[in-house]
Amino acid sequence: MEIDEGEEVDGAEFGVDGGRAAEAAGDIEVGTEEARSTRERGEFAGLFATRGGVRFGSQGGFDQKFIAESVVEGHAIVLVLRGERTAADEIAGVAKSRVGGDAFPEQEEGCGVSVGLVDACAAEFQDFSPDLLEWCEVEELLAVIAEIALGAIAGLHTVGADQGAGGGIVDHQVVADEVEAVLIEAGGQTFTLTTGAVSPASPNSAASLISACNSAFQSNFNNGGTVGGFLGLAPAGCQPPNLNDVVSQLRNPKYVEWNFEVEHRLNSKTVVSANYVGNKGYDELVQFPYLNGFGFGGLPTTPIDTRVKSVTQLQNTGVSNYNGITVSLQEQVTHGLSGRFNYTYAHALDDISNGGILPYSLSNSIIYQISPFSLRSLNYSNADYDLRHSLSASYLWDLPFKASNSLLNKAVGGWEVSGTFFYHTGFPFSVIDGTSMLANQGKNMQFITVLGSPTTTVPRQCSSSAVTTPCFTTSQFVPAGAATTFGTIPRNSFRGPGYFNTDLSLRKNFVVREHYGFMIGANAYNILNHVNFANPVANLNAGSSFGTILSTVNPPTSPYGSFAAAAVDARIVQVIAKLTF
């Protein structure tokens, strides 16, 4: 179920739909107690479904602003359930000030129906009986949401996966990152503590300390106070916070796209086509992490404002470009054979890939501006997903074997072979100096990036031979920790090994009777048992592992689905049988 921006929905209907989607996706078994409780949890999750652009279910899709509202709202409801009404009001106020507007419109009351936060539902929540609380699984659901809320506000991210609203699987780290991204847009600050209990229910918890730190900071900052004034107002353990900022006028990213295609029929069964596609993006999001940085690479020797530490500003300075041509050959059935062949040559360039907020690759993506003096000098380069050459093919062949003997014909006839081929060149990656990055993070550059600077000719292409022989060594770069600049070559200047995979399917069809058929066969995934390797270790502080490939990549297809992450890169054979009537 999807709802449009601003559309109000019935929370119970929304939650039940999500629970059923989880059942249909196989996350839970239909008809079990788990399925019933998941639907009930989904109904209660309808509390947070009053604002739009959201989809619950097995996909776990969320609208970013909605998440920011929901998780803080969840934290406030937990406080209400504990009788901490004043604290809940304060949290609600923080949420409204950060995300803007009336974040929690009042709706009907009751479990499973969209409701408001404090004014509309505080009494009703406090009056819930223990049985009703158990039925709604309030403590379990809201404890998860509160953890994410605290992670977004305090920088204490929780890693793991649990069943979220409507039964979909939600990764806490991903959601926390999404929330933090939204809070960056709205403006806000994060604090680092050296004391305080983890549990919000504990006396002198980190949550209450952070709330006090935030109140002291806002009061001191708004009155033009000094860092000493802030530390004097704040409780022990508070430190000047990191600040997330946004430009005064944040624009939506814009894209211009164009394409041109030519198609020609060679004969009655063969078609060839060529398709050129291009696009240009501008006003793309870029996170600039150096507004208060100092003491490295030409930055000031002291911070501009000592009342805060790292200041990260969300800007609209990014651009991107893509140009690619695809040549396709399609053959219709000829002597039982049909197939399609595609080849693409393309080049994708950008400042920040994947929209500028979340990384495309957890191990290789850089999502912040690298040089504080020029975005284009070190950021504008190959995109994280720039595949220069890509080839794919598929075929289906009804084998033309027949025999005059009817019994023999049943054995040799009716065989069908099909398969796919995939190949593409390697993904780009960057060499970084992790030692210099760690050494300078304390200079108000929480998200600093320092690229490795070659001191001699370095190969830009790393093949699968890097499993045994490093494709480059630390001696070819400025030593780890010795960098004096942010880099001398752009990001994504190196490429990893290419990728190849082929799958094969063999099937035999039997005609049992006029209206009955039987098929047996086998699907062989990665039939050649070909191993595909990931990019090499590219951090200069990795020592002897630097330049060496230590891991493999999984194929896009397997009998276990798209998200299996173990034991799927080797050959897998699946035996199948099917009766049709």
| Helix or strand holding residue 229 (H, E) | helix 227-233
Instruction: Tell me if 505 sits within 8 A of 524, measured CB to CB.
Output: yes
Mean pLDDT across the chain: 74
Dihedral angle computed from the Cα positions of residues 374, 375, 381 and 383, in that order, rounded to the nearest 10 degrees: 170
The verdict on residue 367 lying in a domain is no
The verdict on residue 494 lying in a domain is no
- The per-residue pLDDT for range 423-437, each reduced to its tens digit, is 999 999 999 999 999
Distance in angstroms (rounded) separating the CA atoms of residues 183 and 242: 13
- The DSSP secondary-structure symbol of 29 reads -
Instruction: Give the burial class of 264: count Cβ atoms within 10 A of its Cβ; 0-12 exposed, 13-18 middle, 19 or more buried.
Output: exposed
Please state the pTM of the whole predicted model. Answer: 0.65
Distance in angstroms (rounded) separating the CA atoms of residues 196 and 405: 85
Query: What is the phi/psi pair of residue 69, to 5°?
Result: -70, -45
Range of weakest confidence among 90-99, 314-323, 539-548: 90-99
The average pLDDT across 240-248 equals 91
The verdict on residue 92 lying in a domain is yes
Residue 576's pLDDT band (cuts 50, 70, 90): very high
Place of tokens 């507004």: 291
DSSP 97-112: HHH-S-SS-----STT
The average pLDDT across 495-521 equals 89
Q: Which residues lie below 8 Å from residue 425, measured CB to CB, with a gap of 6+? A: 387, 388, 389, 390, 495, 498
Distance in angstroms (rounded) separating the CA atoms of residues 125 and 77: 8
The verdict on residue 418 lying in a domain is no
Number of CB atoms found within 10 A of residue 205's CB: 16
Query: Which SS3 state, helix, strand or coil, does residue 11 take?
Result: helix
Q: Taking the mean position of all CA atoms in its chain, how far away is CA 295?
A: 33
The verdict on residue 546 lying in a domain is no
The verdict on residue 539 lying in a domain is no
Q: Which residues lie below 8 Å from residue 414, measured CB to CB, with a gap of 6+? A: 508, 509, 510, 511
Distance in angstroms (rounded) separating the CA atoms of residues 372 and 443: 14
326 compared with 39, residue with greater pLDDT: 326
What pLDDT is attached to residue 166? Answer: 32
Q: Residue 223: left (phi > 0), alpha (psi -120 to 50), or beta?
A: alpha
Biggest CA-to-CA distance, the chain: 99
The verdict on residue 322 lying in a domain is no
Over 60: is that where the pLDDT of 364 sits?
yes
Place of tokens 């880099």: 487
Range of weakest confidence among 43-57, 90-104, 193-207, 452-466: 43-57
Instruction: Print burial letters for 435-446: b (CB count within 10 Å at least 16), e (below 16).
Output: bbbebbeebbbb
The verdict on residue 72 lying in a domain is yes
DSSP 443-492: TT-TT---B--BSS---SB--GGGGTS-SS-GGGBSPTT---SS-SS-TT
Range of the domain at 182: 11-186
- The per-residue pLDDT for range 175-207, each reduced to its tens digit, is 334 333 433 333 456 666 656 666 666 767 778
Q: Taking the mean position of all CA atoms in its chain, how far away is CA 477?
A: 32
Six-digit token string for 282: 């501008």
Q: Residue 433: left (phi > 0), alpha (psi -120 to 50), or beta?
A: beta
Helix %, strand %, coil % for the chain, to 5?
30, 25, 45
Q: Which residues lie below 8 Å from residue 156, measured CB to CB, with a gap of 6+? A: 150, 198, 206
Distance in angstroms (rounded) separating the CA atoms of residues 32 and 560: 23
- The DSSP secondary-structure symbol of 427 reads P
Look at the alpha carbons of 208, 214, 215, 220 in this order and tell me if their dihedral is positive or negative: positive
Count of domains for the chain:
1
Residue 239's pLDDT band (cuts 50, 70, 90): confident
400 compared with 504, residue with greater pLDDT: 504
Picking from 141, 173, 145, 142, the residue whose alpha carbon sits closest to that of residue 157 is: 173
The average pLDDT across 16-36 equals 42
Distance in angstroms (rounded) separating the CA atoms of residues 467 and 514: 57
Instruction: Tell me if 321 sits within 8 A of 349, measured CB to CB.
Output: yes
Q: Taking the mean position of all CA atoms in its chain, how far away is CA 465?
A: 30
Instruction: Tell me if 151 sits within 8 A of 186, measured CB to CB.
Output: no
